[in-house]
Structure 1
Amino acid sequence: MNIRDIARLANVTPGTVSKVLNNYPDISENTRRHVMKIIEENQYIPRNSARSLKLAVKIPQIALAMEGIADWLHQAMAKTLFIRFHNADYTVMSFHDNYYSQDKVEKFQELLNYIDKHNLTGMVYFGGDFRNVPSKYFESLSCPVVFVNTVLPDQTGTEAYSSVQVDHYGTAARQMEYLITKGHRNICTVISSTIDTSAYGIRRDAYKDVLRRHGLEHNLAYIQESHYLCSNAYQLTYSCLKDHPEITAVCCFADAVAIAAVKAIRDAGRAPGKDVAIISFDGMEHLQYCIPSITTFEQPEAEMMDYVYDLILGLMNSKRQHLQITLQTKFQENESCLGEVPNARPDHP
């Protein structure tokens, strides 16, 4: 028996049971007595707990969970949040979730089990795709969860979870629109994967939609799947440039592979930023020190971390309500898009 079984028998939410077990002040006395009666009747003892159920005092434990796909921004944010939570006297656990292709409902059920098994007080989950997970699973979350850059179902105003993310579709569309506005008509696009359903997949879909909208469908043949590896991004971009000398720009789904594109352009006998423009997404600091420096859209990392930190602590202490926050990226125009476009037709695809 677990916390969700008790919630079902008591006809309350798992979150209410959790609050009763941890003596939250915002639970009415009648509800507290009712839940405690169900707990005692079923001889339920929380996992990893040797405390008295009535006088339970929970040691605050926050988990930082991350999809198994490498993402430098999520890793940097998790590292900083780990330090901030630790300095605030919270016990912090962290783990990498498994590969993205697993059934999403099965993955979410594992997430629920992990929360119960470790008796968590809160969780921050980075990345992933749960858009098709039924709402009843989110309602079964027994502790506050803040999802970061996670693809989620359309549950505007939901009180089951919080989210902090950037506008991935809108920003990716701006990437491609920028190149087209500059006069580029032959664009190599480096994506993660054709089957990716994470935020990277949303970016891919935006690229395709913009190309189709401008009548540039022939560029779909120039799309290259990197599978998140710089080695793949380099080799595929290099081959595409050699096979299609008409290409004048490379659009990268993430900064992590942009450096590979720079080398591929140079090794193909062309000048990055002059003969072939490069635009990317995320805002990695070291791209400012490349030659040429890379034009990119920066995710507001510090602002996102502040929102996540304040939200999860506020939710854990019953001082905040769940929120869905979408932030805008910041455009950084650098040297990689300053070259002239041969036979350019600005603003007229």
Structure 2
Amino acid sequence: MGNLTIKDISRMAGVGVSTVSRVLNNHPDVKEETRQKILDVMGKVNYIPNNSARNLKRNTSNNIGVLIKGIHNPFFSAMTKIIEEKIAEKEYSMILHYNDTNPNDFETAVEFIKEKRLKGLICLGGYFNNLSKNQLKDLNTPIVFTSIDSIKNLDNNFFSSVTIENERAAFDAVNYICSLGHKNIGVITSGEKNTSVGMLRLEGYKRALLQNNIEYNKDFSEKGEYTFEAGFNAANKLLDKNLNITAIFASSDIMAIGASKAILKRGLRIPEDISIIGFDDIEYAKYFHPSITTIRQPVEDMGEKSVDILFNIIKEKSGNKHIVINTELIKRDSCKRLI
């Protein structure tokens, strides 16, 4: 049957590529009947796994690490799924590690690489701005920073990145609210210490106000982590100030949904009383009622490009690469034009 790939086997067995990869690598977390089904398909078509990948596994490791900062972020879970499929297609395994305890993200990354003998690492979120050139050089393992802005001051010869223009995307969001006639616009963003993504989105908010001749007032700003609860609490604080807010920009959809709950709980309506706009375009935003206007980060594209860059370095020994991906304003039902 010619050269069958792991992709062909997954199609024949009706399972995901990553599941076939787990069976090939003897991972315990596969249901017995699924494992049997995949082994039967392989037996039937006489499938022989790619030998160079098999031998590589015996001699060293064929593990790719994914390090995630922010366990509550569904934006990262969607991306992880895409990354895992892509890694499995290359007949490597993905090992996932969440860092929500150690404030030093780089230290966590180094330990993770050593402990699991990783061939490469993708970091989703985290703070890496304080690294020296030598720390990155000594790493000796290809690393891709995805959806991280705290890398601007680093020597970019020693790592790869897949990012968006956070400041510009936030500007687009708030400029759109201004174009609907809103002037009293609240903002909910992450604190200064929470990587520079939250800071950049706050800068975008400020620039949009400036462009629309609205003075920035820090009373209109509240901080919180990227959680539903933080969005809910921050919106309550904003509304308690009686600033006559007519719109809120939240720097993640999770926060926007939490904020919406706070608005609705007070008997106010969205968008009739208060308009709301989020950031990320996670699935919840689309199915929340009313569906939330947001900035779309192309999660699939970002996940795929992160893996492509990493494997080009591992297999082709190509140099590091830096990709900036475009965002898009998605207009839904949560924003209203003021008369």
TM-score by length of 2: 0.75
2:143 to 125, 130, 145: 145
Say which of 168, 171, 194 aligns to 1:170: 168
Letter in 2 for 1:57: N
> What is the letter of the counterpart of residue 296 of structure 1?
T
Alignment check: 8 A CA contact 1:65 1:124 kept: yes
Q: Deviation at 1:61? A: 1.5
Q: Is the 8 A contact 2:86 2:304 kept in 1?
A: no
1:222 alignment counterpart: 220
Partner of residue 67 from structure 2, selected from 65, 68, 72? 65
Shift of 1:99: 4.4
Residue 337 of structure 2: which of 324, 330, 340 is its match? 340
Match of 1:89 in 2: 91
Between the aligned partners of 1:195 and 1:61, the Cα distance in structure 2 is: 31
SS of the equivalent of 2:279 reads strand
- Answer yes or no: is the 8 Å Cα contact 1:283–1:297 preserved in 2: yes
Quote the offset at 1:215 in angstroms.
4.7
CA RMSD of aligned residues (A): 2.3
Please list, as runs of the form range in 1=range in 2, the aligned pairs for 1:277-296 lying within 5 A after superposition. 277-296=275-294
Structure 1 CA distance for aligned equivalents of residues 232 and 315 of structure 2: 48
| 1:199 and 2:197 are equivalent in the alignment | yes
C-alpha separation in 1, matches of 2:259 and 2:332? 16
* Deviation at residue 196 of structure 1 after TM alignment: 2.1
Determine the C-alpha separation between the residues in 2 that align with 1:81 and 1:181. Answer: 37
Gap runs ≥5 in structure 2: 1-57
Aligned length: 281
Q: Residue in 2 aligned with 1:304? A: 302
Post-superposition offset of 1:127: 0.7
Offset of residue 230 of structure 1:
1.8
CA deviations 1:29-74 (Å, max 9, x no partner) are xxxxxxxxxxxxxxxxxxxxxxxxxxx9323111111114532111
Deviation at 1:218, TM superposition (A): 5.0
Instruction: Determine the C-alpha separation between the residues in 1 that align with 2:214 and 2:290.
Output: 27
Q: How far, CA to CA, are the matches of 1:288 and 1:68 in structure 2?
A: 22
Range moving further from structure 2, 202-211 or 184-193: 202-211
- In structure 1, how many angstroms separate the alpha carbons of the residues matched to 2:80 and 2:142? 17
Please tell me whether the aligned partners of residues 238 and 268 of structure 1 are also in contact (alpha carbons under 8 angstroms).
no
Structure 1 residue 185: Cα displacement: 0.8
- Provide the secondary structure at the position in 2 that maps to 1:190: strand
User: Offset of 1:117 from its aligned partner?
Assistant: 3.5
Aligned-residue identity in percent: 25
| Cα separation, partners in 2 of 1:279 and 1:78, compared to 1, 3 Å | same
Q: 1:64 to 1:91 in 2, by over 3 A?
A: same
Deviations 1:113-146 (A, max 9, x none): 4323432211111111212312221112211111
What SS is found at the alignment partner of 1:140? helix
Change (3 A) 1:114 1:262: closer
Q: Secondary structure at the match of 1:129?
A: coil
Query: How far does the alpha carbon of each residue in 1:161-216 deviate from its partner, in whole angstroms, 9 at most, with x for none?
Result: 11011111110111121112221110111112243224223212332344355553
CA distance in 2 between partners of 1:248 and 1:125 (Å): 37
Looking at structure 2, the residues matched to 239 and 74 of structure 1 have their Cα atoms a distance apart, in angstroms, of 28
Equivalent AA in structure 2 for residue 306 of structure 1: E
> Unaligned stretches of 5+ in structure 1?
1-55, 343-349
Contact 1:128 1:199 in 2 (8 A): no
8 Å CA contact 1:190–1:252 kept in 2: the answer is yes
- Asked if the contact 2:68/2:98 (under 8 Å) is kept, the reply is yes
Q: SS at 1:321's partner residue?
A: coil
Q: TM-score, normalised by structure 1?
A: 0.73
Contact 1:184 1:341 in 2 (8 A): yes
* Partner SS, residue 340 of structure 1: coil
Larger Cα-atom Rg? 1
Tell me how far apart the structure 2 counterparts of residues 211 and 309 of structure 1 sit (CA, whole Å). Answer: 38
Displacement of 1:266 after TM fit? Answer: 2.1
Question: What residue identity is the alignment partner of 1:341?
Answer: L
Paired residue for 2:50?
none
Secondary structure, in 3 states, of the residue corresponding to 2:245? coil
- Taking structure 1 as reference, are residues 110 and 255 closer, same or farther at Cα in structure 2, changes over 3 Å only? closer
